[in-house]
């Protein structure tokens, strides 16, 4: 096991002190730089930086970044959500590290969903039933992982399946 312990630091946004969400840093007890390319290969990071090594993922409207000595996550409800996500990422780091012999490391960002591919499958009525002002904004939120296909009530069953299949290759749940 590569990472066994961490210290969680919860912070409020400095640029928005009255914001409802919090951010967290999980300070790791072990340097995970060597595991980052393997985690990237398994989870498909949207941003990969070679030096110093880090990988960033977009999921459910959050940015999750693994650095060599810490994990950072933004837009959290509370400490419980922070712990859930950090512990999931630590499991992913440990699993990737333990299985590294069967994983080809990736040093590049993975392809991300294309906005126009998503928009083509939406009804394009701007009905606002999804709580977004337009279908384009909703498509953007889908691409970010902040919304799900179930949030679009007028979506046809056929296009719902196509969209779920398409987005399934990009998003993950923790």
Phi and psi for 145 in degrees, rounded to 5?
85, 10
For residues 83 and 128, state if they share a domain: no
For residues 29 and 79, state if they share a domain: yes
pLDDT (0 to 100) of residue 104: 97
Residue 1 in any domain: the answer is no
Q: Which residue has the tokens 């007028």?
A: 154
CA-based nearest residue to 165, from 117, 126, 132, 130: 117
Q: What is the domain range of residue 58?
A: 6-102
One DSSP character per residue, 28-52 reads ESS--GGGHHHHHHHH--SEEETTT
If you average pLDDT over residues 3-28, what whole number do you get?
83
- In angstroms, how far apart are the furthest CA atoms of the chain? 51
Task: Indicate if the pLDDT at residue 113 is higher than 80.
Answer: yes
pLDDT (0 to 100) of residue 99: 98
For residues 33 and 61, state if they share a domain: yes
Domain end residue (candidates: 102, 123, 158)? 102
For residues 18 and 69, state if they share a domain: yes
CATH code, domain with 58: 3.30.310
Contact 159, 70 (CB under 8 A): no
Domain end residue (candidates: 46, 77, 102)? 102
Residue 25 in any domain: the answer is yes
pLDDT (0 to 100) of residue 170: 73
CATH code, domain with 137: 1.10.15.40
For residues 88 and 42, state if they share a domain: yes
Cis peptide bond N-terminal to 51, omega within 30: no
Distances (CA, A) of 31 to 45, 93, 105, 109: 19, 11, 17, 21
Residue 110 in any domain: the answer is no
For residues 82 and 136, state if they share a domain: no
Supply the mean pLDDT for the chain: 91
For residues 36 and 78, state if they share a domain: yes
If you average pLDDT over residues 17-21, what whole number do you get?
61
- Domains in the chain: how many in total? 2
pLDDT (0 to 100) of residue 13: 67
pLDDT (0 to 100) of residue 20: 63
pLDDT digits (tens, 9 = 90+) for 122-168: 999 999 999 999 999 999 988 887 788 999 999 999 999 999 999 87
């Amino acid at each position: 096991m590569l990472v066994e312990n961490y210290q969680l630091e919860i912070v409020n946004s400095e640029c928005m002190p009255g914001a409802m969400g919090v951010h967290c840093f999980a300070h790791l007890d072990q340097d995970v730089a060597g595991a980052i390319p393997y985690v990237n290969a398994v989870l498909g990071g949207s941003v990969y930086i070679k030096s110093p090594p880090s990988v960033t993922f977009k999921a459910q409207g959050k940015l999750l970044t693994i650095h060599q000595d810490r994990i950072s996550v933004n837009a959290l409800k509370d400490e419980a959500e922070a712990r859930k996500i950090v512990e999931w990422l630590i499991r992913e780091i440990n699993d990737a590290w333990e299985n590294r012999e069967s994983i080809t490391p990736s040093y590049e960002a993975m392809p991300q969903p294309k906005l126009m591919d998503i928009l083509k499958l939406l009804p394009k009525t701007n009905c606002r039933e999804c709580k977004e002002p337009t279908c384009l904004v909703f498509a953007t939120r889908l691409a970010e992982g902040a919304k799900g296909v179930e949030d679009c009530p007028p979506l046809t069953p056929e296009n719902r399946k196509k969209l779920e299949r398409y987005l399934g290759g990009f998003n993950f749940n923790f």
